[in-house]
Amino acid sequence: DQQVKQNSPSLSVQEGRISILNCDYTNSMFDYFLWYKKYPAEGPTFLISISSIKDKNEDGRFTVFLNKSAKHLSLHIVPSQPGDSAVYFCAAKRNYGGSQGNLIFGKGTKLSVKP
Amino acid sequence: DAGITQSPRHKVTETGTPVTLRCHQTENHRYMYWYRQDPGHGLRLIHYSYGVKDTDKGEVSDGYSVSRSKTEDFLLTLESATSSQTSVYFCAISGAGRPAFFGQGTRLTVV
């Protein structure tokens, strides 16, 4: 069973507009969530994270929202740029602190930002 | 990227042969991980290490073994490679309370 779900395999957005990537999870024990960005032939790169004690975390053009009651999080990119075109992975872990790399990943959403 | 190196970057091997992938870090991080990425599955944890000689299984550990004799090196071994182990393998490292940082990946093809 998938514990972390990214139901949209792909998303296409116009440059300058907002990109919203969604992620749902089923395990209520998850208390720390991360987004990674991946370009072809490269390793995933950490983008932004949020702990379950918060409902929003912002870093420049990237904002992650967490709705614990719905077990849903989303990544907003504003404004979207062509260089944001990549695969975005949502990931989750239990027990904030300690080992941050023991993660459960979603399948990813491929974002295409068109000029 | 600086700090973590995977070798080899590409490998083709025959079914039934042993294969060892190496992950080397220069960050002195305690935690190291091996993931595999396959189409339709995202990334899945194979094994991880929380210190020298301290390792544990991840989500998809069958057919794989690991060793960590030094802080900087984490080896992933396929004792007898199978076609189902054709994948892209990523090593990651993390310090306590810090997000995992991934290597560039090793593309392994088992024919």
Q: 3-class SS at B60? A: coil
Chain A positions in Cβ-Cβ contact with residue B93 (cut-off 8 Å): 101
The residue assigned the tokens 């190196």 is: B5
| B100·A41 Cβ contact <8 A | no
pLDDT values of chain B reduced to their tens digit, one per residue, 111 residues: 559 999 999 999 999 999 999 999 999 999 999 999 998 888 999 999 999 999 999 989 999 999 999 999 999 999 999 999 999 999 999 987 788 999 999 999 999
Backbone region of residue B76 per phi and psi (left: phi > 0; alpha: psi in -120 to 50; beta: other values): beta
Is A101 in contact with B100 (Cβ distance < 8 A)?
A: yes
Model pLDDT for residues A38-84, shown as the tens digit of each residue: 999 999 999 999 999 999 999 999 999 999 999 999 999 999 999 99
B92 within 8 A of B35, measured Cβ to Cβ:
yes
Length of chain A: 115
* % of chain A exceeding 90 in pLDDT: 85
Cβ distance of B48 and A42 shorter than 8 Å: no
Best to test chain A binding among B41, B43, B55, B101 (most A CBs inside 10 Å): B43
Q: What is the per-residue burial (b if ≥16 Cβ within 10 Å, else e) of A67-87?
A: eeeebebbbbbeebeeebbbb
